[in-house]
A and B are shown apart, each in its own frame.
Chain A
Amino acid sequence: MEEKNREGAVSAWDRVQIARSADRPYIKDFISRIFDGFLELHGDRLFGDDRAVIGGIAAIDKQYVTVIGQQKGRNAKENKRRNFGMPNPEGYRKALRLAKQAEKFSRPILFFVDTPGAFCGMEAEERGQGEAIARNLFELSDLRVPVLSIITGEGGSGGALAFAVANEVWMLENAVYSVLSPEGFAAILWKDKKRAEEAAEVMKMTAEELKGMGIVEKVIPEPQPANIADMDDLALSMRREIRSFLKYYQDMPAEEIVRRRKDRFRSYGVFD
């Protein structure tokens, strides 16, 4: 995955491939290395427990936080269970339940985003995929605790945004975040899926470009593309950054936390 284009820089399409690679760390890998402990909690209390989403309570430096994110599988068997990290409505509803619980008990919320998108299946539609995502956007908009979202791999469309209504959104250097996959974008706008590579450039979906556009606040460097075999340094730097995020918001009044989150999204508009 260290392909370089002629200028020696990593292209947007290279980053898409890195973000999707099977040896990239997933949320469970990050949790075990960043936090001092984790208690997973299950279920949406309505339909079931979506294994594409992991959520629970973690500790970092004697502070409790709620951690939620998509979990991909590394092989066919795991992916059957994790649905390739594509949540069903019950995954979004579990996340919302845990987010509201965090708010009730004043725990900051950390989302780890890594999904090709919300699952596009018949049952997902039947159970209200659109409603589930909409409800998350609605409820997360004024949660009274600090929310941080870190896009670690693929930030695919509304399925990612439902976990990214946050005070700050960060991305790992090789993560991507977009309105649709480059393949889908090329298919819709050019009627040609094969132009995905070109689409990836046009869409401005890399961490650096999105930071430049004010969509994300921080890019976490990956000196080498993040790999489960060697991720201790990356986890350590993420732990440091997370601690400083928590410290920054620690004594901020809830009204101020909500106001800042709302202002952040208000800024993505049209100004005359």
Chain B
Amino acid sequence: MLKEHFKKPAGEAETEISYEKPQAPDGLFQKCDGCGKIVLQEDIENNWYCCPKCGRYYRIGARERIPMIADENTFQEWDSGLTGGNPLQFEGYEEKLDTLRKSTGYAEAVVMGEARICGMRIALGVMSAEFLMGSMGTAVGEKITRMIGRATAERLPVVLFCCSGGARMQEGIFSLMQMARTAQAIKEHDEAGLLYIPVLTDPTTGGVTASFAMLGDVILAEPGALIGFAGPRVIRQTIGQKLPQGFQSAEYLLKHGFVDRIVRRERLRSTLGILLRSSGYGRKES
């Protein structure tokens, strides 16, 4: 029913949304973009994907995150093949998604499923910045909504690693609607008395911050993560103000009362374990 309203061809192919910080570098040796030192890739991987010299946090996706968080071999993906369409018939969008699917190995910007943490069964979602900056289109909204819905039905707590530049521009108004859909799903999960923990990683901005990222019972964040509604560049342009050092960092949000704790990667699993156990999970589970 929607399709026939999208006949008009769009403009030229878009250019990539660019963000300043790169992913964890590939290759044997890498130059850290934090301290500029040459570091061994293996050392980065063995150091929770942080620079062994300066401690800089690199962005990681679902592939790196899940083994770091879940009990060994407990992750089972849900809705793995689910993808969206091109609701605005935006020129070049489908080709871009195809290219990204091949280069990243992800079908979409979020991976959903179930896993165990310290033996406790949870619903787990991880967004990946490699896939169009983790932007939220219809498929991302659908996967998150379905995961939370299934968690509500199966009475599971939800842990969701947020990482997103915000709305998926190419999907226009349908992208915006995902904010309301995900918030609605969390409301139902909340009404069922279940625990929801978003973990905010670098970057968490825009429509993701203004929906599921900020609706946790407990909100955790990684050190130094950029977290905000409007991006710093937009704010600078809007108000012409110089922004203070550390503005919109996880530490800044902690200070202003919008996150509960900043947790280092090596402590995330145990911290989640305590939060789950203290909220009543893991007692009468198999």
A131-B12 in contact (CB<8A): no
A142-B191, A212-B5, A268-B178 as given contacts; A190 in contact with B142, CB under 8 Å: no
Residue of A135, A185, A269, A270 contacting most chain B CB atoms (<10 Å): A270
Q: B90 contacts which chain A residues (CB < 8 A)? A: 202
B173-A177 in contact (CB<8A): yes
Q: For the complex, is A23 an interface residue (Cβ under 8 Å from B)?
A: no
Task: Name the segment of B24-32, B122-130, B210-218 touching the other chain.
Answer: B210-218
A269-B169 in contact (CB<8A): no
Q: A269 contacts which chain B residues (CB < 8 A)? A: 138, 141-142, 145, 181
Q: B284 contacts which chain A residues (CB < 8 A)? A: none
B239-A120 in contact (CB<8A): yes
A206 CB to closest chain B CB, in angstroms? 11
Measured CA separation A262–B181 after assembly (Å): 8
B45 CB to closest chain A CB, in angstroms? 32
Q: A198 contacts which chain B residues (CB < 8 A)? A: 11
Q: In the complex, what residue of chain B is closest to A269 when comparing beta carbons?
A: B142
Q: B234 contacts which chain A residues (CB < 8 A)? A: 120, 184
Q: In the complex, what residue of chain B is closest to A211 when comparing beta carbons?
A: B5
B181-A188 in contact (CB<8A): no
Measured CA separation A210–B229 after assembly (Å): 25
Q: For the complex, is A125 an interface residue (Cβ under 8 Å from B)?
A: yes
Measured CA separation A91–B133 after assembly (Å): 30
Q: B262 contacts which chain A residues (CB < 8 A)? A: none
The contact string, 1 if C-beta is below 8 Å from chain A, for chain B 1-44, is 11001101011101101000000000000000000000000000
A189-B15 in contact (CB<8A): yes
A270-B82 in contact (CB<8A): yes
Q: State the main secondary structure of chain A at its contact with B.
A: helix
B256-A126 in contact (CB<8A): yes
Of A120, A130, A157, which one neighbours B176 at CB under 8 angstroms?
A157
Of A128, A191, A202, A204, which one neighbours B214 at CB under 8 angstroms?
A128
A91 CB to closest chain B CB, in angstroms? 13
A95 CB to closest chain B CB, in angstroms? 14
Q: For the complex, is A179 an interface residue (Cβ under 8 Å from B)?
A: yes
Of B177, B188, B213, which one neighbours A215 at CB under 8 angstroms?
B177
Residue of A178, A199, A209, A268 contacting most chain B CB atoms (<10 Å): A268
Measured CA separation A204–B169 after assembly (Å): 12
A262-B15 in contact (CB<8A): no
B residues sitting closer than 8 Å to A (CB atoms) are: 1-2, 5-6, 8, 10-12, 14-15, 17, 82-85, 87-88, 90, 138-139, 141-142, 145, 167, 169-181, 183-184, 186-188, 190-191, 206-207, 209-215, 228-230, 234-235, 238-239, 241, 243-244, 247-248, 256-258
